[in-house]
Amino acid sequence: MTKRLHEDLPMIARKTLLAAALPLMAGALAHAPLAAQDGDVTVGPGAFLEGYYTALKSRVEMPVAPPGAPLPSTAATIERIAFGSCNHQSRSQHMWAQIEATNPDLFLLIGDNVYGDTNWSGDAALTTLRDAYAAQSDHPEFQQFRARVPMMTSWDDHDFGFNDGGAAFAFRGFAEDIYETYWGSSAEVRARPGVYESRMFGHGDRRVQLIMLDTRYFRSEFERMPYTEERPPLGPYQPSNDESLTMLGDAQWAWLQQELARPADLRIVVSSIQVLTDAHDYESWEQLPLERARLYEMLSARADSELLLLSGDRHAGGIYRSGLGEGGDPLWELTSSSLNLAFGTTPQNTAREPDPLRVTDFIAEENFGLVEIDWAAEKVTLSLRGAEGEIRAQQDVFWNAQTAPAMRSPDMIPGAQDAPQGD
């Protein structure tokens, strides 16, 4: 078990913590200029926390994930990728067996991998986050899955720091240390701020690139709606055209542009939050429309390849279709959430959130996503699988649109559970 914050830390470390906790609550010192003889000096919370974390790391045990199966070789042909999000460490872990039963070449855990902010007291030691990871490691179902199925990961808010958190989170540096230690992140990821990474698998004309974005570490605060007595039914945020706001940060944007220039046949871009939809006002790329336009422009300019988007976060899942710019190529997004923390029912969700871009019901019950690649047929099958492995929604995406058959709707799929559309 991890040791607690109050365990005999040096007094200077405690004073450092007190000084550093203030910007978390008030946001006042995130970029505070201090008077200096040569002008203004900009400092952030990290400058105050460095001594504290040096002392803390010598006194606590950092959690580590159970031993994991190695990733496929870079030359391996990938045909089946499973993914999911929103896994609470204190709830049933039954979904791991269902995922493994699909025999994926790779599993992507794309955010809210634990809920480390549950009962968080605001301590800079992020005790509840470390404890959440330790609790997740104790589950035999997760241990078995890790040993058998290769994994890649990213994070979202609840395993980054706190609900809807972004770059203003004063303790994000230590949260990153916890994440990278737990998941055994690559040297490339450890060498830079944030947890974004990319992997290429396959050879010849069967190369798939997985691009895992970090939509937390660098992200600006979203603009909130004006106060009303009634809580907004579909989220508290509103889009902002402030050019100073960012989703990925300059370094990650530059990295993404370089990654999209690499030769690949299929690119899968993973965002912890949804990209295409405008149907709600929770966290999504819609809240930063200039950044989303930048993403679309960059994706349009990619080296020749097919493209898919994967996302999570919503405690519901669906399949979405839009286009890259006016008259652009179709762009598909598969959202899967949650693994064990479902909210509501599918009929309720579908009726509550009509969306012209969503081509399926909005699946509320526990689910995971599956991407099946048929290289010979130039086809990708996107599906959401339920708590017993059943198909809840499915869509075939053909690379050659000229020869593709008509779009398959959920009620055409054997075994799919139907619910009335709310659109």
CA atoms within a 13 Å half-sphere pointing along the CA-CB vector of 360: 32
In whole angstroms, how large is the CA radius of gyration of the chain? Answer: 22
The per-residue DSSP string of 275-327 comes to SS--S-SSSSGGGSHHHHHHHHHHHHTSSS-EEEEEE--SSSBEEEEEESSTT
> What type of residue is 291?
E
Q: Two tokens at 200?
A: 């290429």
CB 256 within 8 A of CB 298: yes
Q: What is the pLDDT along the chain (423 residues), one digit of tens a residue?
A: 444 444 444 443 444 444 444 444 444 444 444 444 566 766 677 778 989 999 999 999 999 999 999 999 999 999 999 999 999 999 999 999 999 999 999 999 999 999 999 999 999 999 999 999 999 999 999 999 999 999 999 999 999 999 999 999 999 999 999 999 999 999 999 999 999 999 999 999 999 999 999 999 999 999 999 988 887 789 999 999 999 999 999 999 999 999 999 999 999 999 999 999 999 999 999 999 999 999 999 999 999 999 999 999 999 999 999 988 666 789 999 999 999 999 999 999 999 999 999 999 999 999 999 999 999 999 999 999 999 999 999 999 998 755 445 433 333 333 333 333 333
| Residue 253 exposed, middle or buried by CB count within 10 Å (0-12, 13-18, 19+) | middle
State residue 325's pLDDT score.
66
Q: Which two tokens stand for residue 347?
A: 């009929």
Bond prior to 338 in cis (omega within 30° of 0)? yes
Among 85, 101, 308, 276, which Cα is nearest to 208's? 308
Residue from 213, 220, 222, 215 nearest 257 by CA: 213
Query: Tokens 């979203």 appear where?
Result: 222
User: DSSP per residue over 38-64, as a string?
Assistant: TEEEEE-HHHHHHHHHHHHHTTSPPP-
* Residue partners of 174: CB distance under 8 A and separation at least 6: 49, 53, 56, 124, 125, 126
Burial environment of residue 30 by CB neighbours within 10 A (0 to 12, 13 to 18, 19 or more): middle
Q: Is the pTM of this model over 0.75?
A: yes
Q: CA–CA separation, 388 vs 367, rounded Å?
A: 9
Q: For residue 43, what pLDDT is reported?
A: 65
Q: At 409, is the secondary structure helix, strand, or coil? A: coil
Beta bridge partners of 184: none
Q: What is the dihedral of CA 366, 213, 319, 390, to 10 degrees?
A: -30
The predicted structure's pLDDT at residue 228? 87
